[in-house]
């Protein structure tokens, strides 16, 4: 239909796709998704079709579905939870004389979509010639408001290009859209047909509202729309509402040279508690606020919010324009996923698609929150308050499993365990330590004492208690944690996973420290000195296995005694291995899906010597196949630390481009938010060498040879710090706040307000280049200029 290049164009502050590629719609709808963490709209066309996978999501709004088992077992969750495609408010159908706008018919001399990272909007411009030969231009712009959490809006313009034209617009609220099942991939969300039951429908003037509830989970929601028009000629309008459809129809004659301009305001609300009338009132009120602000006001608020964000979070990267774009794309989506979730989870896909059933995993705490901690710390407080709000469920789960403390779920929407496969679910208890680590990181980065007293301390205490009950002292008084699953999903149910044990160690110490800081709160939780000293003792005696022959840390006990996976005879098309090999065989061999020991060397880098890191990294590179999107970023961090700067650069690119290049071939189900966050981590912790062990931050910057410079900004203890890395020197700039001590490659430095401090970068240590499994080397990155 078009000869334009159907791919994203490289540009520093926006993501643009020119031309139409229907096959690519599914994945571009994910990339072009808008969200504020509460409402998510996939980037579908207003006219509804052609479409990839329609999706409108409300964070936390889910339906239950039974979790079946061929052979049931004690403690298996009976119910799963699946994110629901709620009432679609994006739909604006256009009739050009007799022809509905449908880009599969007629022709389009011009078509482009642009996601603008600074305006926070998705713009579309289309010139279309209908099958009967009439030519129109459509321009739309939409946003999901960061400032008005319940509100989305679409500005829509139609202009005839070849003479006066009768235009009919149908602006819908549509519930229970049919969705086709596209694949049997278990990672794809279970599709639920018609999950919404109608409770209420009304329409009057330009306004309509639909209220529904979910059949099994019993959650209630309302969606409402209102409209403003700017048109010279008289309009005929009609509004109607039935169970699953509300529609405003507008017919108008638009003269050549003039435009029909419409603003559609959409509001959503949901609740497990409030009644349908209360929800109706809520969305009506949100619409009133939006109307009062107006389209231009919403645009201004949105840009202001984003200006603030970029001021404290932007990363600049000179020498690779595509990577620059990808980093900003990633930060923008991390912000969208986490900005206004407010005591709801940040799902693995954000609100960009139905993948993983809309569940949140440990990647939120381990990949997304580290980024937000140093850029939008308020969002971290909210996300951890969500975890705190699920503590009762986690305590109940721990008790069901015969354990003390709280056992957070492997995957969930509302806090209940939804994993149907316990060896890679419930047994991955490290999620508790990951939550505790996120709490500790947030506390040390913000000093938010109120958060610590209200939420943080209890999270630390209950996770610490779980470790005490999961572990035991062996005959040599070592503290062992047996039979658990670490981050690497190609191993399971192993003893003394190094990552788990080191994270549990930190968890126990942070809990004890926090109790000592706030003995009054500790007392209300029943913590006494004997308990904290048991925590410290267990932490002190934590078993960390080491293979003295190979001189590396086994990922878990016995790991290095296992057979190495036969990579040479593994056909390249059999990756990801889990789709072609049985778990039993993966589990008992040395093959690593995703960084595990290497992740331990990042987040608990204080527990390893530089020599150990170098040897371990070299060893695990040969075994790591990166069948998970959670791996490249961590490998980038350690590659950089070990002096493999080109390799680090390749891994950074892999993490950053996971979705723009659809590297895992499942971007259509939603973006890999943790991988996008990982790109920031790869940049700041990798090339910036930023570490935050023990409540301090330190730097050890190095520039990969492909780039001219990297600059990033971060917030820490009320300061804003800028770092610019050039090839031979790094410059620190305290942009805001009082002087602060940090270190540069191990050398103590003090940053003073407003001053720049430039430090030479020491020579990069050289180690032999590590090898990856054949065929699993990262793509070698060549810097890409703007399109």
- Least distance to a copy of itself, CB of residue 599, Å: 22
Rounded CA-CA distance 748/742 in Å is 6
404 lines the binding site for a copy of itself (CB under 8 A): no
- Least distance to a copy of itself, CB of residue 488, Å: 14
495 lines the binding site for a copy of itself (CB under 8 A): yes
For a copy of itself, the closer CB: 206 or 356: 356
The kind and range of the H/E element at 157 are strand 151-160
Sole binder of a copy of itself in the list 193, 572, 584, 728 (CB under 8 A): 584
363 in a labelled binding site:
yes
Sole binder of a copy of itself in the list 93, 480, 518, 724 (CB under 8 A): 480
The values of phi and psi at residue 471, to 5°, are: -95, 170
For a copy of itself, the closer CB: 194 or 579: 579
Question: Measuring CA to CA, which residue among 27, 125, 5 is closest to residue 667?
Answer: 27
402 lines the binding site for a copy of itself (CB under 8 A): yes
For a copy of itself, the closer CB: 565 or 687: 565
- Least distance to a copy of itself, CB of residue 198, Å: 30
For a copy of itself, the closer CB: 348 or 492: 492
DSSP character at residue 86: -
| Cα atoms in the Cβ-side hemisphere of radius 13 Å centred on 191 | 15
For a copy of itself, the closer CB: 75 or 304: 75
423 lines the binding site for a copy of itself (CB under 8 A): yes
- Least distance to a copy of itself, CB of residue 627, Å: 12
The kind and range of the H/E element at 81 are strand 79-83
**Are 20 and 1 in contact, with CB atoms under 8 Å apart?**
yes
Rounded CA-CA distance 754/34 in Å is 36
Any idea which residues carry the catalytic annotation?
489
Sole binder of a copy of itself in the list 332, 362, 422, 608 (CB under 8 A): 422
Question: Measuring CA to CA, which residue among 480, 369, 483, 489 is closest to residue 425?
Answer: 489
362 in a labelled binding site:
yes
Count of residues in contact with a copy of itself, rule CB under 8 A? 52
Sole binder of a copy of itself in the list 534, 583, 717, 759 (CB under 8 A): 583
The kind and range of the H/E element at 583 are helix 583-587
541 lines the binding site for a copy of itself (CB under 8 A): no
DSSP character at residue 673: H
**Are 476 and 404 in contact, with CB atoms under 8 Å apart?**
no
**Are 22 and 104 in contact, with CB atoms under 8 Å apart?**
yes
DSSP character at residue 61: -
578 lines the binding site for a copy of itself (CB under 8 A): yes
717 in a labelled binding site:
no
- Judged by CB under 8 A, the stretch of 372-380, 397-405, 595-603, 675-683 that binds a copy of itself is 397-405
170 lines the binding site for a copy of itself (CB under 8 A): no
Return the residues of window 45-74 that contact a copy of itself according to CB under 8 A.
Answer: 67-74
If 0-12 CB within 10 Å is exposed, 13-18 middle and 19+ buried, where does residue 782 land? exposed
Rounded CA-CA distance 467/432 in Å is 9
613 in a labelled binding site:
no
Rounded CA-CA distance 644/245 in Å is 57
427 lines the binding site for a copy of itself (CB under 8 A): yes
- Least distance to a copy of itself, CB of residue 625, Å: 15
Rounded CA-CA distance 193/734 in Å is 54
Binding string to a copy of itself for residues 547 to 576, with x set by CB under 8 A, is what? --x-------xx--xxx-------------
- Least distance to a copy of itself, CB of residue 273, Å: 29
If 0-12 CB within 10 Å is exposed, 13-18 middle and 19+ buried, where does residue 669 land? buried
Return the residues of window 638-697 that contact a copy of itself according to CB under 8 A.
Answer: none
Write down the H helix ranges in 631-718.
632-641, 645-656, 673-681
420 lines the binding site for a copy of itself (CB under 8 A): yes
593 lines the binding site for a copy of itself (CB under 8 A): no
- For helices 321-338 and 377-389, angle between their N-to-C axes, nearest 10 degrees: 40
- Judged by CB under 8 A, the stretch of 2-10, 106-114, 582-590, 684-692 that binds a copy of itself is 582-590
For a copy of itself, the closer CB: 69 or 110: 69
For a copy of itself, the closer CB: 589 or 715: 589
Write down the H helix ranges in 361-429.
363, 369-373, 377-389, 391-400
Sole binder of a copy of itself in the list 182, 194, 288, 579 (CB under 8 A): 579
DSSP character at residue 10: P
For a copy of itself, the closer CB: 297 or 576: 576
Angle at 501 (CA atoms; ends 498, 504), nearest 5 degrees: 145
Q: Is 682 helix (H, G, I), strand (E, B) or coil?
A: helix
Q: Which residues belong to the annotated binding site?
A: 362-363, 593-594
Q: Which residues belong to the annotated binding site for substrate?
A: 362-363, 593-594
Q: Please give the residue ranges that form the binding site for a copy of itself (CB under 8 A).
A: 67-77, 80, 186, 400-403, 419-423, 425-427, 472, 474-475, 480, 482-484, 492-493, 495, 549, 557-558, 561-563, 578-585, 587-589
């Amino acid at each position: 239909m078009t000869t334009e290049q159907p791919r994203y164009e490289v540009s520093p502050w926006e993501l643009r796709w020119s031309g139409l590629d229907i096959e690519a719609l599914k994945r571009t709808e994910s990339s072009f998704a808008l969200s504020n963490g509460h409402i998510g709209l996939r980037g579908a066309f207003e006219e509804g079709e052609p479409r990839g996978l329609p999706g409108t999501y409300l964070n936390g709004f889910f339906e239950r579905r039974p979790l079946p088992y061929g052979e049931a077992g004690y403690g298996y969750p009976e119910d799963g939870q699946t994110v629901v495609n709620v009432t679609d408010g994006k739909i604006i159908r256009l009739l050009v004389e007799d022809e509905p706008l449908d880009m599969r018919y007629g022709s389009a001399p011009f078509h482009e979509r642009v996601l603008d990272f600074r305006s926070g909007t998705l713009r579309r411009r289309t010139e279309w010639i209908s099958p009967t030969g009439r030519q129109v231009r459509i321009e739309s712009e939409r946003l999901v408001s960061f400032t008005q959490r319940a509100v989305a809006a679409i500005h829509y313009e139609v202009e005839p290009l070849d003479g006066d034209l009768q235009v009919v617009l149908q602006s819908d609220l549509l519930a229970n859209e049919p969705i086709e099942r596209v694949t049997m991939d278990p990672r794809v969300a279970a599709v639920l047909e018609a999950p919404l039951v109608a409770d209420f429908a009304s329409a009057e003037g330009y306004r309509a509202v639909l209220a529904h509830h979910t059949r099994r989970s019993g959650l209630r929601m309302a969606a409402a729309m209102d409209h403003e028009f700017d048109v010279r000629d008289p309009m005929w309008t009609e509004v109607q509402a039935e169970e699953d459809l509300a529609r405003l129809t507008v017919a108008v004659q638009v003269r050549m040279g003039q435009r029909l301009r419409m603003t559609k305001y959409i509001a959503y609300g949901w609740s497990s508690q409030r009644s349908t009338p209360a929800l109706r009132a809520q969305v009506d009120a949100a619409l009133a606020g939006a109307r009062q602000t107006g389209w231009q006001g919403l645009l201004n608020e949105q840009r202001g919010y984003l200006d603030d964000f970029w001021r404290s979070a932007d990363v600049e990267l000179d020498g690779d324009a595509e990577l620059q774009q990808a980093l900003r794309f990633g930060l923008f989506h991390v912000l969208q996923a986490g900005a206004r979730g407010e005591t709801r989870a940040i799902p693995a896909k954000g609100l960009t698609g139905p993948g993983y059933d809309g569940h949140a995993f440990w990647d939120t705490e381990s990949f997304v929150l580290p980024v937000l901690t140093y850029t939008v710390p308020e969002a971290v407080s909210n996300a951890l308050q969500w975890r705190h709000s699920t503590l009762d469920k986690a305590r109940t789960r721990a008790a069901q499993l015969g354990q003390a403390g709280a056992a957070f779920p492997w995957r969930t929407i509302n806090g209940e365990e939804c994993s149907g496969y316990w060896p890679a679910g419930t047994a991955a208890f490290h999620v508790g330590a990951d939550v505790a680590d996120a709490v500790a990181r947030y506390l040390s980065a913000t000093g938010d004492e109120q958060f610590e007293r209200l939420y943080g301390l209890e999270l630390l205490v209950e996770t610490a208690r779980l470790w005490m009950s999961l572990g035991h002292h062996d005959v040599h008084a070592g503290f062992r944690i047996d039979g658990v699953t670490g981050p690497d999903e190609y191993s399971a149910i192993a003893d003394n996973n190094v990552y788990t044990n080191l994270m549990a160690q930190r968890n126990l110490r942070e809990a004890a420290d926090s109790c000592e800081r706030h003995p009054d709160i500790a007392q209300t939780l029943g913590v006494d000195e004997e308990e904290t000293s048991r925590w410290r003792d267990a932490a002190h005696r934590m078993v960390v296995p080491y293979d003295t022959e190979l001189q590396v840390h086994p990922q878990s006990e016995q790991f290095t005694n296992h057979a190495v996976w036969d990579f040479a005879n593994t056909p390249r098309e059999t990756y990801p291995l889990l789709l072609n090999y049985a778990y039993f065989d993966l589990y008992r061999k040395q093959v690593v899906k995703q960084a595990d020991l290497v992740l331990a060397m990042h987040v608990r880098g204080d527990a390893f010597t530089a020599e150990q890191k170098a040897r371990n990294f070299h060893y695990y590179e040969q075994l790591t196949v990166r069948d998970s999107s959670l791996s490249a970023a961590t490998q980038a961090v350690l590659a950089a630390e070990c002096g493999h700067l080109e390799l680090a650069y390749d891994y950074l690119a892999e993490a950053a481009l996971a979705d723009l290049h659809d590297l895992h071939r499942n971007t259509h189900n939603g973006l890999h938010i943790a991988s996008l966050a990982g790109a920031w981590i790869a940049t700041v912790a990798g090339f910036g060498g930023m570490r935050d062990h023990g409540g301090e931050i330190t730097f050890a910057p190095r520039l990969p040879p492909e780039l001219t410079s990297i600059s990033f900004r971060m917030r820490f203890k009320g300061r804003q710090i800028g770092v610019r890395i050039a090839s031979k020197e790094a410059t620190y700039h305290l942009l805001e706040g009082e002087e602060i001590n940090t270190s540069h490659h191990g050398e103590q430095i003090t940053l003073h307000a407003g001053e720049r401090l430039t430090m030479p970068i020491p020579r990069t240590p050289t180690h032999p280049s590590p090898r990856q499994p054949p065929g699993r080397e990262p793509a070698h990155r060549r810097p890409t200029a703007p399109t």
